[in-house]
Amino acid sequence: MKVLHSLGSLRRGGIETWLMNVLRQRHPELHMDFILHEPPGTGGDYEREALAAGCRVHHYPAASWLTKRLRIVGLMPTDRTLVGVLRSGGYDVLHVHGEEFLGDVGKQGFRGGTPVRVMHCHSTKLARGKHGAEMRLRRLRHRTLGRRLVLRYGTDLVACGRDAGRLMLGTAWGRDPRCRVIYCGVPLEAFESALRKSDRRSLLARYGIPCDARVIGHAGSMGPSGVKNQSFLVRIFAELAKRDSRYYLFMAGDGPMRPVIANGVVALGLDDRVRMPGLVADIPELMMHLFDVHVLPSLSEGFPVVTVEACVAGLFSVCSDTVTSEVGEHLVGRVQYVSLASSPSQWADAAEVGIRRRIAPEAGLAIVCSTPLTIKSSVEGLVAMYRSRLAWGPVAPARWAQPGLAQTRLS
């Protein structure tokens, strides 16, 4: 089955890492290619890995800010790059990732003659929670035309969790047989390998952290938006730092907001006890051997894969209450939700409790193995969905008023 994945880029991020993990499974029934909005060469090591694995990586031509917005409102012709790629590539599946404009891409997929068009929502907020006049118009478009296009041109409506599904379709989510959740599972083999190949002492030495340290761990993008809320995490750590000189904060990740976060660390006089190494390739190694607790004060999350990774490593996660409840439902007893309205002191209390609740990685691995949160489950879900839809043959776009479909009224 030839699958073309449409997304923004192949730079390191949640969706991108999951897709690369799917690719690394080398399922014999799947061939994966990509079409990206960012220009060639910007995907870094993920793009190079995809090319080395035999994937074709296509790119949309660059478009100005004005051109993009005129196309959104229908005042300029739609870019035809995707239609051409689909027709020349003979793809069985177009799999569109993101949270906004999914239906617009699906419409191009229909025009390109692709029989299976998967609309896959990965977030619970548009544009990572941006505000302003433009976002008000985009939210209105998303709730009206955007949802209608998804329902009309999507053959399969997928979300990384229930809350993301509700963002995509409102109250229509779950009432249509095309709706399903496919979790972004984690590769357990990477954690099993990390458990064998490294140790805490060498990692502490690598990052200049004392042997008796207690490490507060975090891994996440640092922009362009502040959705991961690292600035608040620094305030939480400031409270912990007052309580015990052994506490250290480790924030893996990079992005445009990294200098702002670093300035906040310096302003609080914490630069000697905070480590910000940028992008780190081996997150399993850090979680297995370096972190003592995982803290995630995000403003929003679709389904945070990083909490699953933390559980595999035996870590307890302290998350904001904006994180979907599905995490706690699957990782029973391994997650505590704290309100973002709570004080840094209350968050620090939860982190200290979380340190004491760390378990052996073998026990964490067993917990995740019993859930649908592994990469093998993800791949099985994708293959089953593609296979069953292709067996039914090409599916025309659903008519908006087609009787018998529960999606005729949207929130």
**Over the chain, what is the mean pLDDT?**
91
Amino acid 408: pLDDT: 29
pLDDT tens, position by position, 105-129: 999 999 999 999 999 999 988 876 6
Task: Give the pLDDT confidence of 358-372 residue by residue, as tens digits.
Answer: 999 999 999 999 999
Report all structural domains of the chain as residue ranges with CATH numbers, in order of start: 2-184+375-408 (3.40.50.2000), 188-369 (3.40.50.2000)
Model confidence at 405: pLDDT above 50? no
For the stretch 336-351, pLDDT in tens is 999 999 999 999 999 9
Q: Tell me the pLDDT tens digit for each residue of 273-314.
A: 999 999 888 899 999 999 999 999 999 888 899 999 999 999
Farthest CA pair distance, the chain: 67
Q: Is the pLDDT of residue 76 over 60?
A: yes
Q: What is the pTM of this model?
A: 0.87
- How far apart CA 96 and CA 108 sit, in angstroms, is 11
Reported confidence tier of residue 88, pLDDT bands at 50, 70, 90:
very high
Contact 127, 170 (CB under 8 A): no
Phi, psi of 397 (to 5 degrees): -65, 140
Quote the tokens at residue 401: 């008023």
What is the rounded distance in angstroms from the CA atom of residue 225 to the CA atom of residue 227?
6
Residue 407 has pLDDT above 50, yes or no: no
H-run or E-run covering 268: none
Using the predicted structure, report yes or no on whether residue 198 has a pLDDT greater than 80.
no
Average pLDDT over residues 133-150: 92
pLDDT above 80 for 396 = no
